[in-house]
Amino acid sequence: MSPEALLEHQSRHPDHLFVLDVRTPQEYAEGHVPGAVNVPYDQLASRLAEVPKDKDVVLYCKSGRRAGIAADVLAANGYTRLSHLEGDMPAWAAKGHAVEKP
């Protein structure tokens, strides 16, 4: 999913969307997609209850590697509505989209 498509989806159907940041808590604190929830990819298997199965889940990290691993974990646990944010966090920031900090 492109950053622009994510923004459009967030504005039109925010209740159908769950944005999942699978980076470290430190990376998340440095700035993340507004509204994203942080569950590090290496903790995801033990924190599945935090990720809703009834929403479109959009995953991202820094390079795509951790998001891919996280998507595999979710798919293996029955999640079917998965998307990957194209270009991950660097592309989001480079396009000048809002970055949220705690």
Span 73-94, average pLDDT: 97
Q: Taking the domain 3-93, which CATH number applies?
A: 3.40.250.10
pLDDT at site 59: 98
4 is catalytic: no
Residue with token string 């974990």 = 73
User: Catalytic pick from 36, 57, 58, 61?
Assistant: 61
What tokens appear for 21 in the block? 């940041």
Question: What spatial distance separates the first Cα and last Cα of the chain, rounded to whole Å?
Answer: 25
pLDDT at 23 over 90: yes
Band of pLDDT at residue 13, cut at 50, 70 and 90: confident
Quick check: helix, strand or coil at residue 53?
A: coil
Phi-psi region of 84 (alpha: psi -120 to 50; beta: other; left: phi over 0): beta
